[in-house]
Amino acid sequence: MAKQPTVLVLNGPNLNMLGVRQPDVYGRESLGDVEAVCAAKAKALGLGIDFRQSNIEGELVTWLQQARGRHAGIVINPAGYGHTSIALLDALLVTELPVIEVHLSNIHRREPFRHHTYTSQAATGVICGLGSQGYLLALEAMANLIKTKKARA
């Protein structure tokens, strides 16, 4: 039987604090809760996931470099680094994989400095403002992108 495709679900700085602070902005779920619903969704879609979080920009870059040839797609909440990091954008482009960017909050309703992300330039699609449901919608869209790519190959 063919090995099931896996999706790297990457979470940037401070997302380990989910559910602990600012529930009005980011909701009450912990990152562990988000991981659990993502794992269940991925299973239902016939995908595996590798769910990770780091507060260190270089670590996120290294994980992205390792994703090439290992994973079929990337779902990323780059958190604050999305607004600042050309290094993360470059690393996403190096993977040559489909990328979907997710933000829990609606970054366009917030401070102007959150309206732009460098990382979205590497993304097929961006989902924001739907809380943790955004991750599930991203996995659904990713399953379709992976299937379509296979059908074309």
Q: Binding ligand CA2 by CB under 6 A: which of 22, 65, 66, 144?
A: 22
> What mask of x and - would describe binding to ligand CA2 in positions 65 to 84, judged by CB under 6 A?
------------x-xx----
Cβ contacts of residue 125 below 8 Å, gap of 6+? Answer: 100, 101, 138, 141
CB of 49 to ligand CA2, least distance (A): 18
b/e burial code for range 97-118 (CB count within 10 A of at least 16 → b)? bbbbbbbbbebeeeeeebeebb
For residue 60, the one-letter residue type is L
Question: Does residue 56 interact with ligand CA2 by CB under 6 A?
Answer: no
Decide whether 77 or 120 has the Cβ nearer to ligand CA2.
Answer: 77
Question: Does residue 15 interact with ligand CA2 by CB under 6 A?
Answer: yes
